[in-house]
Amino acid sequence: MGISQSASKRVSFTLINSSQFNSACDSVYTQCLALSQHAFPGVLPYQLVSAAAHLHQDLTSVHPHPLIIRWVPDLPSRSQVDSSFRFVTRHRENSRSDGEPFVLDSPQFKEWAQVLFTDAVVGNAGKAVMKRVPVGVLGIAGIGAAARTRKEVVGAAIGVYALGVATSVYLSLSG
């Protein structure tokens, strides 16, 4: 959990301090307001799936961000979009007391986008580690068995390999 939490903070910090990310958020936020013809003072929850698609497109082509290009090749899923919305609005009611629909203002929209893409990057990086480590472990174990190497040496080599893969992925999360 410590590495995951640290990786999440690293990615989140990189995104929020990125001019590409902030420009993309501002552009998509403005686009969402235009699509609703400025009838609401922010982005409505039903617009978030479309907003996520526009952000992904923007961050992979218009304002390319290295983290998104490398770790988020596909659009975030609907459940990721919804989960990020729930995270951002966890301390607020889903509708205001005066009957007006709940909307995300610009800072809330950026927070939502930050949570969405941080989770997507960290999740995909974790999947990459889980794919690479078993393949390498099998290779090391196979070579160790063929060479009749002691178990301790093979175990140490596997440990070093797994640590190297995890470190490599972790260091790539700073963009």
Residue at token pair 């497109």: 57
CB of 120 closer than 8 Å to CB of 65: no
92 vs 51, more confident: 51
pLDDT at 28: 95
How far is Cα of residue 167 from the mean position of the Cα atoms in its chain? 18
- Token readout for 131 is 């794919």
Cβ within 8 Å of residue 129, ≥6 positions away: 165, 166, 169
C-beta neighbour count of 156 within 10 angstroms? 12
Lowest-confidence range among 61-70, 106-115, 144-153? 144-153
Confidence (pTM): 0.76
pLDDT band at 94 (very low <50, low <70, confident <90, very high): very low
Task: Return the higher-pLDDT residue of 156 and 154.
Answer: 156
What's the pLDDT score for residue 165? 65
> What pLDDT, on a 0 to 100 scale, did the predictor assign at position 152?
73
Q: Compute φ and ψ for 165, nearest 5 degrees.
A: -65, -50
pLDDT at residue 19 tops 80:
yes
pLDDT score for 40: 79
State percent of the chain over pLDDT 90: 41
Residue 77 pLDDT exceeds 80: yes
Residue 172 has pLDDT above 50, yes or no: yes
Q: Mean pLDDT over all residues of the chain? A: 81
Mean pLDDT across 160-172: 67
Q: How many CA atoms lie within 13 A of 155 on its CB side?
A: 3
* Residue 49 CB-density burial (10 A; 0-12 exposed, 13-18 middle, 19+ buried): middle
Question: Which stretches of 89-150 are DSSP H helices?
Answer: 106-146
pLDDT interval class at 167 (50, 70, 90): low
